[in-house]
Amino acid sequence: MTKPVDLVEVWRGDMCESLHQGHAVVCDHNGAIIQAWGDPAAVIYPRSSCKMLQALPLVESGAAAGLRDEQLALACASHEGAPLHVSMVGDWLADLGLGDDDFRCGPQASRDKALYLSMIRAHQEPCRIHNNCSGKHAGFLTLTKHLKADPDYTEIAHPVQVACKEAFEDVTQEPSPGYGIDGCTAPNHACTVHGLARAMAFFASAQDRSDIRSTAAARLTKAMMAFPELVAGEGRACTDLMRAMDGKVAVKTGAEGVFIAIIPEKRLGVALKISDGATRASEAAITAILVKLGVLNPAHPAAKARMTPPVLNWDGRVTGYITPTAALL
- Identity at 325, one-letter amino acid code: T
In this prediction the pTM is 0.97
- Identity at 150, one-letter amino acid code: D
Rounded-to-integer distance, Cα 285 and Cα 307, Å: 7
Rounded-to-integer distance, Cα 46 and Cα 314, Å: 34
Domains in the chain (CATH in brackets) are: 5-324 (3.40.710)
Contact yes or no for 46/196 (Cβ under 8 A): yes
Give the list of residues 6+ apart from residue 256 with CB closer than 8 angstroms, or none. Answer: 45, 47, 273, 274, 277
Under DSSP, the state recorded for 148 is T
Per-residue pLDDT of the chain (329 residues; tens, 9 = 90+): 589 999 999 999 999 999 999 999 999 999 999 999 999 999 999 999 999 999 999 999 999 999 999 999 999 999 999 999 999 999 999 999 999 999 999 999 999 999 999 999 999 999 999 999 999 999 999 999 999 999 999 999 999 999 999 999 999 999 999 999 999 999 999 999 999 999 999 999 999 999 999 999 999 999 999 999 999 999 999 999 999 999 999 999 999 999 999 999 999 999 999 999 999 999 999 999 999 999 999 999 999 999 999 999 999 999 999 999 999 98
Per DSSP, the three-state class of 88 is helix
Q: Identify the sign of the CA torsion 28, 33, 39, 40.
A: positive
Q: Identify the sign of the CA torsion 26, 28, 31, 32.
A: negative
Helix axes 159-172, 193-204, angle to 10 degrees: 90
Per DSSP, the three-state class of 109 is coil
Per DSSP, the three-state class of 136 is helix
Return left, alpha or beta for 62; rule: phi > 0 is left, psi -120 to 50 is alpha, else beta. Answer: left
Beta bridge partner(s), residue 93: none
Pairing of strands 191-192, 187-189: unpaired
